[in-house]
Amino acid sequence: MASSSSLIFALTLTLWMFAGSVLAKGDVLELGDGDFDYLASEHETMLVKFYAPWCGHCKKLAPDFETAATRLKGTVPLAKVDCTANPDTCGRFGVTGYPTLKIFRNGEDSSSYDGPRTADGIVHHMKKQAGPNSLSLHSQADLEAFINHFDASVVGFFPGSEGSQLAEFLKAASMMREHFRFAHTSDLSLGAPYGVAAKGVLLFRPPRLSSKFEDSVVHFTDTISPASLRRFIRDNIFGICPHLTNENRDRMKGRDLLTVYYDLDYLRNPKGSNYWRNRAMKVASQFLSQGLSFAVANRRDFVDELEQEFGLGASDGGDLPFVTIRTARGHKYTMREEFTRDGKSLERFLDEYFAGRLKRYIKSEPIPEKNKGPVKVVVAESFEEIVNAAEKDVLIELYAPWCGHCKSLEPKYKELAEQLYDDPNIVIAKMDATANDVPEGFDIQGFPTIYFSPAGQKNQPKRYEGAREVKDFLNFLKKEALHALVVSGVREEL
């Protein structure tokens, strides 16, 4: 009997262990109400996915999350919590939708995860989250290893008596760690070669971007606070001509930017990558006071964007750089002349730009040879002539050919145009917003987007937010149009 009981116990234990190994399959930890606090507190940094098994978005994310967990193993653990089985934990952390991703530090909810939801994006984002907010340096070797990095580095030098200054520095590091790298030391001798005598903060630009045209190290001279450090980093991190990437491009928005695209690869060919950058920097240094920012970028990183915006194929232009200017207002310019090795072509391009003699680049379909239908076809090249005709009230639909809602709207929109065909004061128009540049002021939130451009007020287009039946459009136009409508040949009273 005892032998039988032992056998049953051993078999049960084996089955339990097997079940456990199945549950533990993969590198994503499974946490729940009973063990979340205990296990999460064991890890300095952890990314947790709160999900529901029936959630479609959760199912879509699962393979990328699992792949990221495998690639991050030993660096940052990834975990998941099934909220249908563990409502207490999910409720405690305010989970109201699925999937919700949160970053935990030593078991405490630190912040929401706002990075990409692809395997590559999660890995890149969480590698920056790993470790302390600011790394403590103890030797010259530590400092050199830290600043010899692909990205810029911010290092604070604080003697033992500067506790409050260090506290402010660490607070700033905590707030900005997702975007910038921070380290600190109490050994002032480490800063001596860079001119640090008592205390200070230095910004080290990446060694690969070292150039005779600018300092590789920048000194912070203000009183230390998160706001002042953020301002200092923002103003100095990029230098004269930074390397534009998909990761840092959002931080360069809101400025007029000239970008030089070419086969740039700092990992495999740093010397060749700096060849064209040095020529761009030489020219850029002459125009710094004019309010234009400069950057270089790997053409392959932006191939889809360049093709979509400028019709530039992967092999177009050969080995020579392709140069664009994008302004904060959305205007675009391209350098038509080849980029010469002496930089003179870039100088001429900039002279023309600042003199206001450059013609803007506009992506446009050809202007239709015939355009007599009730719905006028607009392209980017004819937008000014048709939509911004001062004396006309214009209703324009911005659509995408593949959009189901646009296809459903088409017969109603055509009927509206037919009813107003005899009205000389109003135009019903449409433009393919995927094949034509959309002017500033006509922001697209989805397809179709419809705007009313009123006569005499062309700088104040109004987004149409009403229902999309013919009668709804007519009621809107009766209120907004400058002149009484002529509907099917009959003038409507205002």
pLDDT of residue 19: 37
Strand 243-244 versus strand 257-262 pairing type: unpaired
**Numbered ranges of CATH 3.40.30.10 in the chain:** 27-129, 135-236, 243-354, 376-491
Domain 135-236 has CATH 3.40.50.920: no
Backbone angles phi, psi at 331, to 5 degrees: -80, 145
Residue with tokens 């630009």: 205
- Residues annotated as catalytic (active site), given as ranges: 55, 58, 403, 406
pLDDT of residue 242: 94
d(CA 334, CA 44) in angstroms, rounded, equals: 48
Token readout for 260 is 């030089």
Treating both helix axes as pointing N-terminal to C-terminal, what angle do 344-354 and 270-284 enclose, rounded to 10 degrees?
Answer: 40
- CATH number for the 376-491 domain, one of 3.40.30.10, 3.30.460.10, 3.20.20.70, 1.10.260.40? 3.40.30.10
Class of domain 27-129: alpha beta
What pLDDT, in 10s, does the model give residues 434-448? 999 998 889 898 999
Residue 376: strand, helix, or coil: strand
Q: Is 102 left (phi over 0), alpha (psi -120 to 50) or beta?
A: beta
pLDDT of residue 252: 85
Looking at the DSSP assignment, which residues form a beta bridge with residue 324?
259, 334
pTM over cut 0.85: no
d(CA 346, CA 344) in angstroms, rounded, equals: 5
Q: What is the CATH number of domain 243-354?
A: 3.40.30.10
Average pLDDT per consecutive 10 residues, the chain (494 residues; last block may be shorter) = 48 40 65 93 94 94 94 92 95 93 91 89 87 91 94 92 85 87 94 90 94 94 94 93 89 91 91 94 93 94 87 65 91 93 95 94 93 95 94 96 96 96 96 92 92 93 95 96 85 50
What pLDDT, in 10s, does the model give residues 45-76? 999 999 999 999 999 999 999 999 999 998 89
